[in-house]
């Protein structure tokens, strides 16, 4: 990382970002070109859980190549000033690489949905209709590596 003073190396802070953020972007390869999609997600035990439709372009791409890049940011905000060159952003983010496992087992899909609901603040809403569980897949991202970064003004504004 070029700006080592902005690198987040503390694993507890990386875990905090993963637990508190709401959107995960996943980059896949489509005929040699990047293909990126945003998802809401759940996080537990160093794994990211995403629900999706059982068919479509992303599933085809993931079956062909389960290696992905993911990005998650926390509290990204643009700080505007009167002069253009004084504008800045405040953020903490993670970029990582993962291997996607496509979960088709009914019980495991239910567990994945429970993790997603708990992550998003509704752990009590786990009474899923069986036909709805049948209608989705769970993408389980096994995180291989990740790095974190924060804006240079993060500590000053969030201490």
pLDDT tens track for 110-129: 999 999 989 988 767 777 88
Assigned domain for 39 exists: yes
* Domain count along the chain: 1
For residue 130, is pLDDT > 70?
A: yes
Which one is predicted more confidently, 125 or 90? Answer: 90
158: in domain: no
Q: Residue for token digits 């786990």?
A: 126
pTM: 0.89
Does the residue 41 lie in any domain? yes
In angstroms, rounded to a whole number, what is the distance separating the alpha carbons of residues 89 and 152? 9
Buried/exposed 1-13: b ≥16 CB within 10 Å, e otherwise: eeeeeeebeeeee
Domain housing 67: 4-153
* pLDDT at position 140: 98
Q: Is the pLDDT of residue 1 over 70?
A: no
pLDDT for res 156? 67
Q: Is residue 42 part of a domain?
A: yes
Within-domain flag for 159: no
Please report, for the domain that includes residue 30, its CATH number: 2.30.110.10
Q: Evaluate whether residue 35 is within a structural domain.
A: yes
């Amino acid at each position: 990382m070029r700006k080592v003073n902005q690198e987040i190396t503390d694993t507890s802070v990386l875990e905090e970002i993963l637990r508190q953020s709401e959107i995960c972007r996943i980059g896949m390869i489509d005929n040699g070109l990047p293909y990126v999609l945003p998802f809401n997600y759940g996080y537990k035990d160093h794994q990211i859980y995403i629900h999706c439709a059982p068919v479509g372009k992303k599933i085809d791409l993931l079956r062909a190549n389960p290696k992905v890049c993911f990005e998650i940011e926390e509290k990204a905000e643009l700080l505007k000033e009167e002069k253009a060159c004084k504008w800045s952003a405040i953020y903490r983010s993670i970029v990582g690489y993962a291997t996607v496992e496509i979960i088709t087992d009914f019980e495991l899909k239910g567990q994945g949905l429970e993790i997603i609901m708990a992550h998003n603040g509704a752990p009590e809403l786990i009474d899923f209709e069986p036909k709805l569980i049948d209608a989705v897949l769970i993408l389980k991202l096994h995180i291989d590596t990740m790095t974190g970064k924060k804006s240079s003004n993060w500590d000053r504004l969030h201490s």
